[in-house]
Amino acid sequence: MKKWLLFFGVLSYLVFFVLRLPATYLLEKFSPLPRQIEAYGVEGSIFQGRAALVQWRGWRFESVTWDFQPLALATGNAEFTVSFRGQEGEGHTQAGMTLSQELYLKDTHARIRVGALEPLWRPMVLSLEGWILADLEHVFWKAENLDLLGKVTLENAIWDSKPPLPFGNFLVLLDTVKEKATPIQQSDKKNLTEKAPKIQEPLGLAIRGQIADVNGPVQVKGQLLVSLKSNTWRIATSFWPRPKTTEQIRDLVSLLGAPDREGHYSWSSRGQLPSGF
């Protein structure tokens, strides 16, 4: 019994010692971060600290802080509260790893300027301003497996034209699907899939987004699919101006072609994600 107490005492001390090591020392000696992640201006320890800047595949996160959550060890998880704040936006999440080495994010909330996500919009030939609000219930990933559930809101979207055209808010419900995309089945999400075009192609594992406007000048229904196997994206939308929509927006919509018998326009596109995703 005494040997076990001594063992756990020594183990506890070693864990405490490692957690209290300066974060800069760990980064220099052991390089625990993946190659794509670079951290600058690091202060504190692995237990609790901050970085002036963290870069990941070209994305910049300023004033990043982390705080170890010891209570999560009771469930077998190593978990940190992580937050960032800067000119391009702010956010926070619970990030960790399970005993089976599955990485996860929980209760993720972020507000990011659309301009900061320009590499994503450029392939779709979209010129937008506004804010992205991300509310992700969970993200679990290990090797090639991914499980994601949440929503993203495009807030105060403005088409960057002369003069600028406001388009209001848009909602995208996110989840993951395998092989073929099917409509979201929950009754409270029925309005998002009604009249929405659907992409029915074999995909392997993919992130699916059900798209709808939120009482904007143009009613929109659609679907976005991001294939994790081929690193490609596809989008299909159906939209029609509401009765009180301005003539400027109607003229812009009409550039996409002739409407169908119900007055609905359609737009679809596909492409390759930027390198590094």
pLDDT value at position 237? Answer: 92
The answer as to whether 61 is a domain residue is: no
Amino acid at 147: D
pLDDT value at position 230? Answer: 82
pLDDT value at position 86? Answer: 82
The pLDDT tens digits of the residues spanning 125-136 come to 457 788 999 999
Between 45 and 173, the more confident residue is: 173
In this predicted structure, the answer to whether residue 39 has a pLDDT above a threshold of 90 is no
Q: 174 with 200: CB under 8 angstroms?
A: no
Mean pLDDT of the region 52-58: 77
- Indicate the burial class of 30 (C-beta count within 10 angstroms; 0-12, 13-18, 19 or more): exposed
The answer as to whether 93 is a domain residue is: no
The answer as to whether 8 is a domain residue is: no
Amino acid at 115: G
The pLDDT tens digits of the residues spanning 214-269 come to 988 999 999 999 888 888 888 999 989 998 888 888 888 888 788 888 889 998 88
DSSP SS3 for 241: strand
The answer as to whether 140 is a domain residue is: yes
Query: Distance of CA 162 to CAs 169, 249, 252, Å?
Result: 20, 12, 12
The answer as to whether 241 is a domain residue is: yes
Quickly state the pLDDT bin for 9 (edges 50, 70, 90).
very low
pLDDT value at position 136? Answer: 96
Mean pLDDT of the region 185-191: 46
The answer as to whether 71 is a domain residue is: no
State the Rg of the chain over Cα. 23
Instruction: Tell me how many domains the chain contains.
Output: 1
In this predicted structure, the answer to whether residue 155 has a pLDDT above a threshold of 80 is yes
In this predicted structure, the answer to whether residue 150 has a pLDDT above a threshold of 90 is yes
In this predicted structure, the answer to whether residue 60 has a pLDDT above a threshold of 90 is no
pLDDT value at position 132? Answer: 92
pLDDT value at position 200? Answer: 57
Provide the mean pLDDT of the chain: 77
Cite the DSSP H helix spans in the chain. Answer: 2-20, 23-30, 118-121, 190-193, 247-254
Task: Rank 18-27, 41-50, 211-220 by mean pLDDT and report only the highest.
Answer: 211-220
pLDDT value at position 186? Answer: 44
The answer as to whether 25 is a domain residue is: no
The pLDDT tens digits of the residues spanning 83-119 come to 998 888 899 999 998 888 898 999 999 999 887 776 5
130 CB-near residues (< 8 Å, 6+ apart): 114, 154, 155, 156, 157, 158
pLDDT value at position 118? Answer: 64
Q: Cβ atoms within 10 A of the Cβ of 243, count?
A: 5
DSSP SS3 for 13: helix
pLDDT value at position 17? Answer: 45
The answer as to whether 20 is a domain residue is: no
DSSP SS3 for 143: coil
Q: Which domain holds residue 136?
A: 102-272
